[in-house]
Amino acid sequence: MSGVKKIKKSMEAGSVDLSLIALRDFVICQNAYLREIKKGDDVSDVPEMYHQNLIAEGVIAQGKEK
Amino acid sequence: MALTQPRVYYGIHSFTPYNLVTGLPYGIIKVLQGSTVALEAEQVDLMGGSSKYPWASEESTISADISLKVGQYENFMDELFLGKAPTDNAAETGGSVTTLTNKKGTSVKQASTGIASVGLKSGSSSAVKFGNYVVVAASTTTVDVYAYTDVDFGRGANASYQNDALKITATALTITSGAAVEIPNTGLELTGGSGSIGMTANDTATFSSRPINDDSADVVVGSAVDTIFPEFGAIIVTQKLGNGQMLEMNAYRCKAAGMGHPFEMGAFSQTEIKVKMLYDSAQDGVFAKRWVKPSTA
């Protein structure tokens, strides 16, 4: 897919592909961390602790497990 | 022989209810606007014939009431007049917060997929307010917080309303697994559940907080199973006159229920309490009067 960046992350149980282009607008607000995300943004800079939020909120799609 | 000085009573000094079993006082009420003892007797008249006037008259019943007008509200008054003794709490040097409790739905307060708890944020105790809050799931992993009143918003870090719906969070707070997020300017934080966060939008949960305090009390009034209005005795004392005269009334057995809480702009709250005086068979009386004119004032 053109314009889509994929970053492979290795995990103990295998590797998971994550598409880190925002599919919708979203705001992460937790203590001192504030990140306003617009649809189409590259969210690879978002700390991993928020990836579950991004997936649950439909901001990014979780890729297939290898 | 000249007439003696007339005996007069003036003002009101105190009203002291006491336990009928032990005799110990519950406390003393001194912010009194009045403590009127009313004794009204019903009389039954015998009428007959052409006489326009009764042939005889006898008393039937006598109502004996005390009308208290008070301007103070103590814990023992809740026990006697509202039917439940408050829980008096110890001083809280860091403030306190209640347990988060689901109000609508069950997803907000959830140990795994919601918010596990609300707690005091370390180092921010000066910002904990006298507040009552609602947490609303804004989305699957975010919440907004609303406050019912801004009476204490100025304590420590200033909180503020963001809209007319009384929301205090400018941006919905992100809840993450096992991590704490501060509710800005409240001295409080929400801790995410242990699993993957997944709340249902518009579910709600509530909690309240108290600032650093020397004393506090809580009571639930009107329980269907835990409301008792105990009988009590009462000592009423009038104001001491300039010449030293004092009057005391001891109402042996009283019963009261109801204590309004009028709140009016720019005025101290003052309420009226109706107390029934009853016959006490052990004392064979309703009340006793003691009057004294000391030799020296």
Return the pLDDT at B297.
82
- For residue B4, how many other CB atoms are within 10 A of its CB? 7
User: What does the DSSP 8-state code read for residue B234?
Assistant: E
Cβ proximity of B159 and B188 under 8 Å? no
Instruction: For residues B269 and B261, give the distance between their C-alpha atoms in angstroms, rounded to a whole number.
Output: 7
Which residue's structure tokens are 């403030």?
A: B95
Cβ proximity of B162 and B169 under 8 Å? yes
Instruction: For residues B38 and B63, give the distance between their C-alpha atoms in angstroms, rounded to a whole number.
Output: 8
Kindly tell me if the per-residue pLDDT of B137 is higher than 60.
yes
Return the pLDDT at A42.
94
Distances in Å between the Cα of B63 and the Cα atoms of A26, B41, B42, B153 are 71, 6, 8, 50
Q: Is B194 touching A (CB cutoff 8 A)?
A: no
Return the pLDDT at B11.
93
Q: Is B177 touching A (CB cutoff 8 A)?
A: yes
In what helix (H) or strand (E) does residue B75 lie, and over which residues does it extend? helix B75-81
Tally of residues, chain A: 66
Contact A29 B140 (CB under 8 A): no
Tell me how close the Cα of A48 comes to any Cα of chain B, in angstroms.
Answer: 11
Instruction: For residues A50 and A33, give the distance between their C-alpha atoms in angstroms, rounded to a whole number.
Output: 11
Chain A residues whose beta carbon lies within 8 Å of the beta carbon of residue B176: 30, 49-50, 52-53
User: What does the DSSP 8-state code read for residue B20?
Assistant: T
Mean pLDDT of chain B: 97
Lowest mean pLDDT among A8-12, B143-147, B181-185, B199-203: A8-12
Cβ proximity of B13 and B240 under 8 Å? yes
**Cβ neighbours for B256, distance < 8 A, ≥ 6 positions apart:** B80, B81, B229, B273, B274, B275, B276
* Greatest pairwise CA separation for chain A in angstroms: 36
Instruction: For residues A43 and B196, give the distance between their C-alpha atoms in angstroms, rounded to a whole number.
Output: 20
A4 band by pLDDT with thresholds 50, 70 and 90? very low
Return the pLDDT at A63.
56
Tell me how close the Cα of A33 comes to any Cα of chain B, in angstroms.
Answer: 10
Tell me which residue in A27, A34, A49 faces B179 most closely, judged by beta carbons. A49
Instruction: For residues B17 and B282, give the distance between their C-alpha atoms in angstroms, rounded to a whole number.
Output: 18
Return the pLDDT at A8.
41
Contact B171 A49 (CB under 8 A): no
pLDDT single digits (tens) B209-233:
999 999 999 999 999 999 999 999 9
What is the share, in percent, of chain B residues with pLDDT greater than 70? 100
Contact B141 A30 (CB under 8 A): no
What is the share, in percent, of chain B residues with pLDDT greater than 90? 97
Chain A residues whose beta carbon lies within 8 Å of the beta carbon of residue B199: none
Helix, strand counts (H, E) of chain B? 1, 18
Return the pLDDT at A5.
39
* Main-chain phi, psi angles of B32, to 5 degrees: -115, 130
pLDDT single digits (tens) B162-221:
999 999 999 999 999 999 999 999 999 999 999 999 999 999 999 999 999 999 999 999
Return the pLDDT at B38.
92
Cβ proximity of B152 and B211 under 8 Å? yes
Cβ proximity of B184 and B127 under 8 Å? no
> What SS3 state is found at B85?
coil
Cβ proximity of B47 and B54 under 8 Å? yes
User: What does the DSSP 8-state code read for residue B122?
Assistant: T
Contact A53 B176 (CB under 8 A): yes
- For residue B229, how many other CB atoms are within 10 A of its CB? 15
- Please give the ipTM for the structure prediction: 0.81
The amino acid that residue B254 corresponds to is C
- Tokens found for residue B63: 């109502």
Instruction: For residues A63 and B191, give the distance between their C-alpha atoms in angstroms, rounded to a whole number.
Output: 28
Closest CA to B79 of B296, B228, B188: B228
A19 band by pLDDT with thresholds 50, 70 and 90? low
Contact B172 A57 (CB under 8 A): no
For B289, how many CA atoms within 13 A lie in the half-sphere containing its CB?
7
A6 band by pLDDT with thresholds 50, 70 and 90? very low
Under the phi-then-psi rule, with left for phi > 0, alpha for psi from -120 to 50, and beta for the rest, what region is B108?
A: alpha
Contact B174 A28 (CB under 8 A): yes
